[in-house]
């Protein structure tokens, strides 16, 4: 039932729009209040393995968990492997957990264009913890901050990310940092990396006022440090709920969702107009042949539909 509802709200097919609207309308009348946690990290940081360990921990504690795992889409074929269920084999068999892999579809921010709707469906279905695994760290990853309550950044030791992370500014939106794979021969190095990032965080402004992002270490293989991570999440939520920041962020998320939907719909309606499509095709040919600069083509396209120049 949940899968079917998500398929409808994710669909771009015109025939599915009326039913998708009705689903979202009913959800709006009975909103859920799950903890929305975004989880990101560099490729190879072990995000899926960590989420499986965390999901099992939450299910053991009596929580209902939804995992929205976004797989990167090919820039050529737009296809996606959608293999997260196979990487979370144990968790996927639990009745208390729902895992939904979705293709990113080339969307920026490491999330799909319909991630917000999917979160709303999961909350309405009674899941009290929604974990959103994003594609990976990049400049556009900041987009996920606008749709979650808590942002968890996963790091690994010895990957050279100490300086790269500073440049990306990704640390400044993180509420909790986790050095993963703290096991075996890597345990000592992971501990040293944790201390290094702890020092780095002293020089950065926190994403949430009054909250000092903790830097933790864990092993998804040994299942050590997993409970500590969720205790930090609980502590974070207690902090933002006490000072009203939680309600403020939820309002900001709603406005951000609305703005994104308006922008997407404007783009779809604009480009699907027959006059715009014909004019756009001609301008593209002139750009490709070198006859027209892209900036001038943009002005001509907008002017061709009666919009004033900037």
Q: How many CA atoms lie within 13 A of 121 on its CB side?
A: 25
CB distance 156 to 42 below 8 Å: yes
The full set of domains in the chain, from first to last, is: 33-243 (3.40.50.300)
Give the pLDDT score at 113.
58
Is the pLDDT confidence value at 84 over 70? no
pLDDT tens, residue by residue, 171-202: 888 999 999 999 988 899 999 989 988 888 88
pLDDT in tens, 13-55: 888 888 888 888 888 766 678 899 999 887 788 888 999 999 9
Lowest mean pLDDT among 44-48, 136-140, 277-281, 286-290: 136-140
3-state secondary structure 72-106: CCCCCCCCCCCCHHHHCHHHHCCCCEEEEEEECCC
Q: Tell whether the model's pLDDT for residue 260 goes beyond 70.
A: yes
DSSP 308: P
Rounded average pLDDT over 130-158: 78
- pTM of the shown model: 0.81
Provide the pLDDT for residue 73. Answer: 40
Reported as half-sphere exposure (CB side, CA atoms, 13 A), residue 78 has a value of: 3
More reliable by pLDDT, 34 or 260: 34
**What's the first-to-final CA gap in the chain, in angstroms?**
47
Of 307, 309, 300, 308, nearest to 278 by C-alpha is 300
pLDDT at 71: 56
């Amino acid at each position: 039932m949940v899968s079917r509802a998500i398929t409808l709200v994710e669909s771009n097919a015109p025939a599915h729009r009326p039913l998708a609207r009705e689903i979202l309308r009913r959800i709006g009348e009975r909103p859920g209040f799950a903890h929305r946690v975004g989880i990101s990290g560099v490729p190879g940081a072990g995000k899926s393995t960590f989420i499986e360990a965390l999901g099992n921990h939450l299910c053991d504690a009596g929580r209902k968990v939804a995992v929205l795992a976004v797989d990167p889409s090919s820039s050529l074929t737009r296809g996606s492997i959608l293999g997260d269920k196979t990487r979370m084999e144990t968790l996927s068999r639990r009745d208390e957990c729902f895992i939904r892999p979705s293709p990113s579809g080339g969307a920026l921010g490491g999330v799909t264009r319909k991630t917000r709707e999917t979160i709303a469906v999961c909350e309405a279905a009674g899941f009290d913890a929604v974990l959103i695994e994003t594609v990976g760290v990049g400049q556009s990853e900041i987009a996920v901050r606008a749709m979650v309550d808590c942002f968890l950044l996963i790091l690994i030791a010895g990957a050279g990310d100490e300086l790269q992370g500073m440049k990306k500014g990704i640390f400044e939106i993180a509420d909790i940092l986790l050095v993963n794979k703290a096991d075996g021969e890597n345990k000592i190095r992971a501990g040293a990396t944790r201390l290094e990032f702890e020092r780095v965080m002293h020089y950065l402004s926190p994403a949430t006022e009054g909250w000092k992002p903790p830097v933790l270490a864990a092993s998804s293989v040994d299942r050590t440090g997993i409970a500590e991570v969720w205790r930090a999440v609980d502590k974070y939520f207690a902090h933002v709920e006490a000072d009203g920041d939680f309600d403020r962020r939820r309002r900001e998320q709603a406005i951000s969702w609305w703005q994104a939907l308006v922008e997407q719909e404007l783009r779809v309606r604009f480009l699907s107009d027959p006059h715009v499509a014909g004019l756009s095709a001609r301008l593209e040919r002139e750009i490709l042949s070198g006859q027209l600069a892209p900036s001038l083509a943009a002005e001509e396209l907008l002017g061709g539909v009666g919009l004033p120049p900037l």
